[in-house]
Structure 1
Amino acid sequence: MRGFDSSHHSHGTKTGEKAFDWPAVARGGQSFVYLKATEGLTYDDGWFGRDLAGARSVDLVRGAYHFFKPDKDGAAQADHFVDVLRREGFTGSKPGELPPALDLEECGTDGRIPLAQVTAFLRRVEQATGTAPVVYTRRNIVDDCLGGTKDLAGYRAWLARYATAEPQPLPGAAGWEFWQYSKRAEVPGTAGQPMDADVFHGDLAALRRLAHLG
């Protein structure tokens, strides 16, 4: 099942931002979308609320993600993320909603990501939403910046690998749930920017189950 993920960067520059045509997105064969909601301790993505409303309006399966800052407290980042989700009425457990996701792609100035802070984020979000988050990352990030930890193997994985071959699972994991296979895709109905393209590792029935649709 094909989908995409989006942030304010996907809408063009600040002097030329363009809204998505969500009916055209839905007609174009997309099955799901993940939208950036927050970053760090205070940043809110300016398009999150509008894009969430647009995805809802066409009954497109949707999720929300947080961009993790390795030098900031994990639990506090989780609280910021959850606050924004609640403001927009997103829980990750309503019909049509995918589990919230944590975006791990930036290592700290020391080349590391503190595992304790990542774990604090994941636990706090799960406690607040009742849903275990999805972890977005790349295998080399886990190997190089998280010491190859197996502590993420119990979470659904959304892996980035821009190639034709499937991504290698995270250490200790059997597979992956989502694969971001391109960052230069064309998605009908979007603002003409190159988009991040994803695939769900399952059929429509499995995606609907994950999104609480039966």
Structure 2
Amino acid sequence: MRVHRPGLLRRCLTALLPTALSLAFAAPASAGPASPAGADTPARGSAHMGMGVPVHDGVHGLPRDSRAARTEGVDVSSHQGDVAWPTLWSSGVKWAYAKATEGTYYTNPYFAQQYKGSYAVGMIRGAYHFATPDTSSGATQADYFVDHGGGWSRDGRTLPGALDIEWNPYGAACYGKTRSAMVTWIRGFLNQYKARTGRDAVIYTATSWWTQCTGNYAGFGTSNPLWIARYASTVGTLPAGWTHHTMWQYTSTGPTVGDHNRFNGALDRVQALAHG
């Protein structure tokens, strides 16, 4: 026959209670993949040209030597901070694009140093906008871009603004849009940019993203210069509608500034694009 000892039972439960509570509230050892808002998702505003290229398209070497005329350029964002423009100029870089805006919620805090600094050393420069089609309309983002550094002037050294449209770093690759809706969004941006500046914006994209998210739409090739992103020995297949590229981002691991580009022509062609 067992004797009931309530005092002993109470002491045992009291001793076990902290352990039980810690186990109840501890995160499981295998909680599964992080949600879109998890620690692996970059902060809004941190996106930049080509950040999705290595993951989605891969890296396949550097361009082969060519006898065709090419002019070296770079693109920069807040990731580069204050840029050593004299060093880049001395290395042969003659043109540059700086990120000005993203969505309607972000402006690059280093934009003034990058945009004005490249101009000061003699480069032909331009500004780009990182598109977030899931946050506001294309026309609204074009206005925000122009109002925060993305305009154009007839000084012969300012390139038309560029629309950076690529993989969504914050969620679904195509920003939750159907292909037709994506084309409509892009058209809205381009039309408003031209209405505000008189220039056709450059389109920066990758062929694989363009095919996936616009259905390889061919309607912008006759008006908007193409800036193709591909880290390989050649530009490869271009998106539909373009018979040639104007600029090519060929690496994210170049000297001084990682993102290096080649203009498809000699310096006088860069100047021609700036003059319009």
Whether these two folds match at TM > 0.5 is yes
Q: Secondary structure at the match of 2:199?
A: coil
Please state how far the C-alpha of 1:92 moved relative to its aligned partner: 4.8
Of residues 145, 149, 152 in structure 1, which corresponds to 2:213?
145
Amino acid at match of 1:33: A
* Number of residue pairs matched by the alignment: 197
Please state how far the C-alpha of 1:110 moved relative to its aligned partner: 5.2
Alignment partner of 1:61 is 2:124? yes
Of residues 151, 162, 175 in structure 2, which corresponds to 1:108?
175
Question: What is aligned with 1:184?
Answer: 253
Q: Secondary structure at the match of 1:85?
A: coil
Question: What is aligned with 2:102?
Answer: 39
Alignment partner of 1:159 is 2:223? no
Q: Give the superposed CA RMSD.
A: 1.7
Q: Which moved more, 1:48-57 or 1:60-69?
A: 48-57
Please state how far the C-alpha of 1:140 moved relative to its aligned partner: 0.9
Q: Which structure carries more strand by proportion?
A: 1
Please state how far the C-alpha of 1:94 moved relative to its aligned partner: 2.5
Listed one character per residue, the Cα deviations across residues 76-113 of structure 1 (whole Å, up to 9, x for unaligned) are: 10010010127xxx515432111110001132135756
Preserved CA contact (<8 Å) 1:93 1:129: no
| Bigger RCO (CA 8 Å, 6+ sep) | 1
Preserved CA contact (<8 Å) 1:92 1:100: no
Classify 1:92/1:146 alpha carbon distance in 2 versus 1 (closer, same or farther; 3 Å).
farther
Amino acid at match of 2:234: A
Amino acid at match of 2:200: A
Alignment partner of 1:207 is 2:270? yes
Please state how far the C-alpha of 1:7 moved relative to its aligned partner: 0.3
Question: What is aligned with 1:174?
Answer: 243
Task: State, as a whole percentage, how many aligned pairs show the same letter.
Answer: 34
Alignment partner of 1:10 is 2:80? yes
Alignment partner of 1:74 is 2:142? no
Amino acid at match of 1:29: G
Please state how far the C-alpha of 1:51 moved relative to its aligned partner: 0.9
Q: Which moved more, 1:123-132 or 1:23-32?
A: 23-32
Classify 1:46/1:144 alpha carbon distance in 2 versus 1 (closer, same or farther; 3 Å).
same
Please state how far the C-alpha of 1:20 moved relative to its aligned partner: 1.9
Whole-Å Cα distance in 2 between the matches of residues 70 and 136 of structure 1?
15
Please state how far the C-alpha of 1:203 moved relative to its aligned partner: 1.0
Amino acid at match of 1:25: L
Whole-Å Cα distance in 2 between the matches of residues 135 and 70 of structure 1?
15
Preserved CA contact (<8 Å) 2:86 2:121: yes
Preserved CA contact (<8 Å) 1:31 1:61: yes
Whole-Å Cα distance in 2 between the matches of residues 167 and 46 of structure 1?
35
Whole-Å Cα distance in 2 between the matches of residues 179 and 158 of structure 1?
6
Please state how far the C-alpha of 1:39 moved relative to its aligned partner: 0.4
Q: Secondary structure at the match of 2:96?
A: strand
Please state how far the C-alpha of 1:58 moved relative to its aligned partner: 1.0
Alignment of 1:107-126 (within 5 A): 107-109=174-176, 114-126=182-194
Amino acid at match of 1:146: T
Question: What is aligned with 1:96?
Answer: 157
Larger radius of gyration: 2
Q: TM-score, with normalisation over the residues of structure 1? A: 0.86
